[in-house]
Chain A
Amino acid sequence: MLKVDQLVKKFGGMTALGGVSLTLPDQSILGLLGMNGSGKTTMLNCINGLYEATSGEITLDGVSLIGKSPHAVFSEGVGRTFQVPRVFHQMSLLENLSVALLNKGLSNAEVAEISAHWLNKVELYRLRHNYAEELSGGQQKLLELARIMVANPKLVLLDEPFAGVNPGLALLLIRIIREMPKEVGCSVLLVSHDLTSVYELSDNILVMHEGKVLAEGSAEVIQSNPDVIEAYLGA
């Protein structure tokens, strides 16, 4: 279970996160909505160690993630994707996936088997020997997702997974994300502006506004919340 308690992140005089708290139970999906600049990506960056939190606590299954470097957070079971996919461009798809398994103590055969499974899953297996840069933007998002899933994470942070993805690949992504909690046993923190997908996938939704939590609840609750309608959804 992920627990974020009174998380504060300041950049100089600007407060990006002003005491955010959330709980993400095991094997569930939490949608994170909010305007640009509301602190969603900053939250992900604090959880996975790219940013050092100014104050507050983040724990995963009781283990504090505060002060840990991104590679140490990854070894605690946290994987993440980026708004703009960041694959290893001059490495093959298979090599991309093998990077996430380097410190798992697996044999080459095991690495190949797990990689083949996830490349199949994201429908990129036939391109496994191609350079990652030869993929389209949407395919790179799928590869990035597969790259963290091979490591069997406890928590997956997805930053705008549907942005710039064509409808066909978006449907595939939705299907994979929906299956992830049951198939892998992970929980998912999903940041997206794609309201339909967030409503469809999330067990619970949290709306952020100017670095603070504006509302939290099911899709129905969020859609009918007057504060959310005024600040984010519009009339």
Chain B
Amino acid sequence: MTDEVKEVRDGEVVPAPASQGNIEKSNHIRSLIWGAVVAVIIAVFLPAPLFASNLSFLFYMMLWLTMAMSFNFVAGMAGYMPFGYVAFYGVGAYAMGVLYKTFGMPIPIALAGSAAAGILVGLLVAPTLRLKGVYFGIVSLALAMAMKLVISLMPRDITGGSLGLILSSANDPLAAYYAMFLVMMGALAAGTWLSMSRLGTALRAIRDDSEAAEVVGVNVVATRLKAWIMATMFPALVGGVEAWYTNAIDLDSSFNLLVTAKSIVYAMAGGLGFLVGPIVGASALYGIDQLIWRNFPTLNLLILGVVIIALMLLLPRGIVGAFAQRFSRFRRFIP
């Protein structure tokens, strides 16, 4: 790296034509690092069913990677904290179950229906994007509760009532595994595009100061809406695929607030705003979570809570964020 410093000296501005080369080099290295991360993810998850004895661990690892990544679209890039993020997961799960079981649709169509349902609910609540900070968070939490209530009030022969839906005829864990793999790859592709696009830059500006972003030409409402739609589709798909994998859907699991909590914690632990942040956070914490679960089944949540508190206190910007702050000269290489 020969990142030459050029600046004003003795009142004379030194032109910096070489800077473009430096920036291109930084972008190239960042792309290489990101490419390597994606290659490792593919290498781990694509052939895993051939070798792994515990498919479930890998399936849920992909699930949390996808949830954390899509949460990063809206929290890390647009600055929203949707406490009711589980609403889209739950709606996706039920859309898949109802379309498959009640209306006899094939699985791929039912999953497309999950994505569509997530986007539709996202559009319905889009006017709340005008709200800021904790107000938006609370409204989104209310949305999750409202969606749970709406589904519970729907006719029992459609949603299965309090018993939920059993999809035993759809049982195909391997196919569901690869469906989750495709959803995860979709989230990776969306994140890659978002972080390198002008939309991603606008979103990060909005996250830092929406009014200042507006003042320098960013159409805040339109930009937030785009990110929001993207962020609602993936949890809905994840909910749908998870319903396929487990063959069971019920209100309490589909709208469990722990889904939101884990998405937030995993994304924040890695570092919001970075592409690799949620990947690092979800991989590390989900691994730790499973380790604690196996060795201390009765103290699992307590120990995990302590680990999360320690992480937030010591690394409030997450693992990747802390690295970027400590070694700021390498920040430009971090995807």
Spell out A's residues near B (CB within 8 Å): 48, 50, 69-71, 74-75, 79-80, 82, 86-92, 94-96, 98-100, 102-103, 108-109, 112-113, 116-117, 120-121, 123-126, 128-131, 134, 147-148, 151, 175
Tell me the nearest residue of chain A to B9, going by C-beta: A123
Most buried by A among B5, B19, B217: B217
- Is the beta-carbon distance between B16 and A86 smaller than 8 angstroms? no
Partner of B209 from A70, A86, A121, A130 at Cβ < 8 Å = A86
Interface presence of B331 (CB below 8 A): yes
| A121–chain B nearest beta-carbon distance, Å | 6
CB interface residues, B 265-300, toward A, < 8 Å: 273
Residues of A within 8 A of B201 (CB): 91, 95, 98-99, 102
> What are 14 of the A-B contact pairs (CB < 8 Å)?
A71-B217, A71-B219, A74-B215, A90-B208, A91-B204, A91-B208, A99-B218, A108-B23, A112-B19, A113-B17, A113-B20, A117-B16, A130-B331, A147-B216
Q: A-B pairs with the 8 shortest C-beta distances?
A: A86-B212, A88-B208, A116-B19, A74-B217, A116-B16, A100-B216, A70-B214, A99-B205
A120 CB contacts on chain B under 8 angstroms: 6-8, 13-16
Supposing A90-B204, A90-B208, A112-B19 touch, asked if A129 and B332 sit within 8 A by C-beta, the answer is: yes
A71 contact set on B, CB distance < 8 A:
214-215, 217-220
Q: Choose from B8, B17, B19, B209 the contact partner of A88 (Cβ within 8 Å).
A: B209
Q: Which residues of A have CB within 8 Å of B17?
A: 113
A99 near B20: Cβ-Cβ < 8 Å:
no
Q: How many residues of B contact A (CB 8 A)?
A: 39
Task: Give Cα A154 to B157, complex, Å.
Answer: 65
Given A50-B215, A117-B15, A148-B216, answer yes or no on A126-B7 (Cβ-Cβ < 8 Å).
yes
Which A residue's beta carbon lies closest to that of B273? A90
Q: Closest residue to B330 on the A side, CB-wise?
A: A129
B23/A69 in contact, CB under 8 A: no
Chain A residues with CB under 8 Å of B213's CB are 88, 99
Chain B positions 62-91 with a Cβ under 8 Å from a chain A Cβ: none
Please, which residue of chain A has its CB at the minimum distance from the CB of B18? Answer: A116
Contact A129 B331 (CB under 8 A): yes
Q: Is B211 at the interface (CB under 8 A from chain A)?
A: yes
- Which B residue sits closest to A113, measured CB to CB? B20
| Nearest CB of chain A from residue B5's CB, rounded to whole Å | 4
Q: Which of B18-36 contact A (CB under 8 A)?
A: 19-20, 23, 26
Per-residue CB contact flags for chain B residues 243-284 toward chain A (1 = under 8 Å, else 0) read 000000000000000000000000000000100000000000
Question: Per-residue CB proximity of B132-154 to A under 8 Å, as 1/0?
Answer: 00000000000000000000000
Contact call B16/A125, Cβ cutoff below 8 A = yes
In the assembled complex, the Cα of A231 lies from the Cα of B16 at a distance in Å of 49
Which residues on B sit within 8 Å (CB–CB) of A69? 214, 219
Q: Is the CB of A88 within 8 A of B212?
A: yes
Is B130 interfacial (CB-CB < 8 Å)? Answer: no
Q: Is the CB of B328 within 8 A of A88?
A: no
Measured between alpha carbons, how far is A113 from B20 in the docked complex, in Å?
7
A69-B214, A86-B212 given; A125·B6 CB < 8 A: yes
**CA gap between A125 and B16 in the complex, in Å:** 9
Chain A residues whose C-beta falls within 8 Å of the C-beta of B331 in the assembled complex? 92, 129-131
The residue on A at minimum CB distance from B26 is A129
Q: A129-B329, A131-B328, A134-B328 are in contact. Are A88 and B218 (CB under 8 A)?
A: no
Contact of B328 among A103, A126, A130 (CB under 8 A): A130
Residue of B nearest to A75 (CB): B217
Contacts of A74 in B (CB 8 A): 215-217
Q: Is B162 an interface residue (CB 8 A)?
A: no
Q: Complex formed: what's the CA distance from A74 to B212 in Å?
A: 11
A112 pairs with B7, CB closer than 8 A: no
Task: Indicate if B207 sits at the interface (CB-CB under 8 A).
Answer: yes
Tell me whether A131 and B325 are in contact (CB under 8 A).
yes
Per the bound structure, the CA–CA distance linking A131 and B7 in Å amounts to 18
The residue on B at minimum CB distance from A74 is B217
Q: Is B202 on the interface with A (CB-CB < 8 A)? A: yes
B205 near A91 with CB under 8 A, answer yes
Q: Which residues of A contact B6 (CB under 8 A)?
A: 116, 120, 125-126
With the chains together, A116 CA to B8 CA distance in Å? 11
Given A126-B5, A126-B7, A134-B328, A87 contacting B16 (CB threshold 8 A) = no
Can you name the residue of chain B whose Cβ is closest to the Cβ of A125? B7
Which of B13, B26, B215 neighbours the largest number of chain A CB atoms within 10 Å of its CB? B215
**Residues from chain B with Cβ under 8 Å of A98 in the complex:** 201
CA distance A174 to B201 in the complex (A): 31
State in angstroms the CA–CA spacing of A129 and B217 once bound together. Answer: 22
* Minimal beta-carbon separation of A122 from chain B (angstroms): 8
